[in-house]
Amino acid sequence: MRHPLVAGNWKMHGDRESVANLVTSLLKIDCEAEIAVFPPYIYVPLVAANIGDSGISVGAQNASEHDSGAFTGEVSCHMLRDFGCQYVIVGHSERRNIYSETDDQVAHKFAAVQSAGMTPILCVGETLEQRDQGKTLDVVAAQIEAVIERVGLGNICEAVIAYEPVWAIGTGKTASAAQAQEVHLALRQQLGDSGGKTRILYGGSVKAANAAELFMQPDIDGALVGGASLDANEFSEICKLA
């Protein structure tokens, strides 16, 4: 049985006051699902201190693939672990597209996160053009394969995968439950025998209004939520539906 996970990716939003208020609201959520939140780096210590032993997890939105050294502006996995992170998002489409992260770099980051004792949330997803060309399953399979080549099937199965179609992120367009389930099933099959235990999240304009139908799909084990994770009521509803 896979324990549902609802992850809130706050992206580059918030300030000390709004972060503290959001955490106060999160602490009131009563749900079966695991909750994880991903503040901007600089707020990780504040969130980690305020969530205490509530059972909510904290993670980072990115990490360096390097252990330490002259990498101005970067944050290492060891540092994130040092401040209480349990998860790190790797390969988000905004990192791949805006910051030109390659499949190979994503695979390095994935390995670094696991080596530091944290769990990667590996994001994969196709653009609208790729979907229209019928390439969705090939694109996500190649993104997964790049990581399998570096860390092996056993290690990728210990991680969390997030299917986030690029065209559904921040656009208000969600993949239909059937479209998402098709990709989730293909991803699980690619993971082989151990893939039965791997949590595969859906991300892309998830809201309380569409979450229930997504979560009813057999291979959708939760959500990676962007915009709606900044709204405590909306996020709380999504967590209760998972």
Stretch that binds ligand 13P, among 25-33, 67-75, 184-192, 202-210 (CB under 6 A): 202-210
Q: Which residue is nearest to ligand 13P (CB)?
A: 226
> Is residue 91 a contact residue for ligand 13P (CB under 6 A)?
no
Annotated catalytic residue within 65, 92, 101, 237: 92
> Is residue 170 a contact residue for ligand 13P (CB under 6 A)?
yes
Stretch that binds ligand 13P, among 20-28, 144-152, 163-171, 213-221 (CB under 6 A): 163-171
Task: Choose among 13, 22, 90, 26: nearest CA to 57.
Answer: 26
In this structure, are residues 143 and 124 in contact, taking their beta carbons and an 8 Å threshold?
Answer: yes
Least Å from the CB of residue 48 to ligand 13P: 20
Q: What letter does residue 53 receive in the DSSP assignment? A: T
- 119 contact partners, CB below 8 Å, separation of at least 6: 86, 87, 88, 113, 158, 159, 160
> Is residue 206 a contact residue for ligand 13P (CB under 6 A)?
yes
End-to-end CA distance of the chain: 14
CA dist list (Å): 175 to 96, 103, 123, 155: 20, 23, 15, 28
Q: Specify whether 92 is catalytic.
A: yes
- 188 contact partners, CB below 8 Å, separation of at least 6: 195, 196, 198, 200, 219
> Is residue 99 a contact residue for ligand 13P (CB under 6 A)?
no
The structure tokens 């790049």 sit at: 146
> Is residue 62 a contact residue for ligand 13P (CB under 6 A)?
no
Which C-beta is closer to ligand 13P: that of 48 or that of 225? Answer: 225
- Backbone φ and ψ for 34, nearest 5 degrees, come out as -75, 140
Least Å from the CB of residue 169 to ligand 13P: 4
Which C-beta is closer to ligand 13P: that of 23 or that of 206? Answer: 206
Q: Specify whether 108 is catalytic.
A: no
Least Å from the CB of residue 67 to ligand 13P: 26
Catalytic residue numbers, as ranges = 92, 164
Q: Rule CB under 6 A: which residues touch ligand 13P?
A: 9, 92, 164, 169-170, 203-206, 224-228
